[in-house]
């Protein structure tokens, strides 16, 4: 695993839902090793409450479910692994200090008709986290 002498920054966007809990833990461990010494990891991930809202059901941590991309899955079907907010916090805090958790809402109304669920301010679709190595 590469390492930097000065604190580094790593960035990722919306892929944690494709990782099992074990893969998620290992990923965070490796990122923490890379950006050690006060480095930061900035990432976006689906809001677990949004996942339940979209799928209209509850999930258990680690439960696999299919995500149909496009209106009817015409753009592919992907496996997602549900992670509750408490699981995110538990695993993140093994390696990082959570500095910020920012709700993500659309910055344009371009999809307000076709994807109205994105505009639910009570249940933001995603969060951006800023975490710092311990």
**pLDDT tens per residue across span 17-55:** 999 999 999 999 999 999 989 999 999 999 999 999 989
The percent of residues in the chain predicted with pLDDT above 70, rounded, is 97
CB 4 within 8 A of CB 32: no
pLDDT exceeds 80 at position 110: yes
Q: What is the mean pLDDT of residues 85-89?
A: 98
**Which pLDDT does position 133 carry in this prediction?**
95
Q: Which residue has the tokens 């991309």?
A: 69
Q: How far apart are the first and last CA of the chain?
A: 18
Tell me the C-alpha to C-alpha distance, in Å, between residue 103 and each of 70, 77, 82, 97, 100: 23, 26, 18, 18, 10
């Amino acid at each position: 695993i590469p390492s930097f002498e000065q604190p580094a920054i790593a960035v990722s966007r919306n892929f944690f839902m494709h990782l099992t809990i074990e893969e998620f833990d290992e990923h965070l461990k490796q990122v923490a090793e890379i950006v050690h010494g006060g480095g930061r990891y900035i990432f976006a991930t689906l809001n677990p409450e949004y996942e339940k809202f979209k799928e209209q059901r509850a999930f258990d941590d680690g439960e696999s479910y299919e995500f149909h991309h496009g209106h009817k899955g015409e753009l592919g079907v992907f496996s997602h692994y549900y992670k509750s907010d408490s699981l995110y916090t538990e695993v993140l805090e093994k390696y990082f200090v959570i500095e910020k958790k920012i709700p993500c809402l659309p910055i344009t109304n371009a999809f307000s008709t076709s994807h109205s669920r994105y505009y639910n301010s009570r249940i933001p679709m995603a969060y951006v986290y800023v975490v710092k190595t311990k």
